[in-house]
Amino acid sequence: MGLYKEFKTFIMKGNVLDLAIAVIIGGAFGKIVASLVNDIIMPPIGLILGKVDFKNLKVVIQSGKEAVMNGTSLVTPAVSEVSVNYGMFIQNTFDFLLIALCIFLVLKVYQKVSVKETEKPAPAKPSNEEKLLTEIRDLLKNK
């Protein structure tokens, strides 16, 4: 029974709920940023670079072969292509950099907005003339 109570206390802490919410929102934000990178930013870049699709760039180490059949019997089995897909690595690296840039920009905007909300203008300090007039007023009241 003690383990159940400890687990319930752990789950009901605000930190766990905040983390769960952050993970869910982060996943949704990740999809938005991935769509921004893949669907909006990368097509023009590929066009500028000569209609190159980075995902298809690769070095073939061994060509693939189709299976050879003699009627219904298998003569030679199929061999899969073996390749180094460096284009996917380039694409994923570029995606990461763009996602990191987007998150950085969102955080900068958030920081500016949150600082403006927390900063309240300090009450203006009275000028020397106001201080002098206040003293004169107080002296006149006392007479």
Lowest mean pLDDT among 29-33, 44-48, 72-76, 114-118: 114-118
* CA pair distance 79, 98, nearest whole angstrom: 37
In percent, the amount of the chain with pLDDT more than 90 equals 0
CA distance linking residue 43 with residue 30, whole number of Å: 19
Q: Residue 103 burial by CB count (10 A; 0-12/13-18/19+): exposed, middle or buried?
A: middle
Quote the pLDDT of residue 21. 81
What is the rounded CA–CA span in Å between residue 23 and residue 17? Answer: 10
**Model pLDDT, residue 34:** 78
Specify the pTM. 0.48
Q: Locate the domains of the chain by residue range.
A: 2-118
Class of 2-118 in CATH: mainly alpha
pLDDT at position 80 over 70: yes
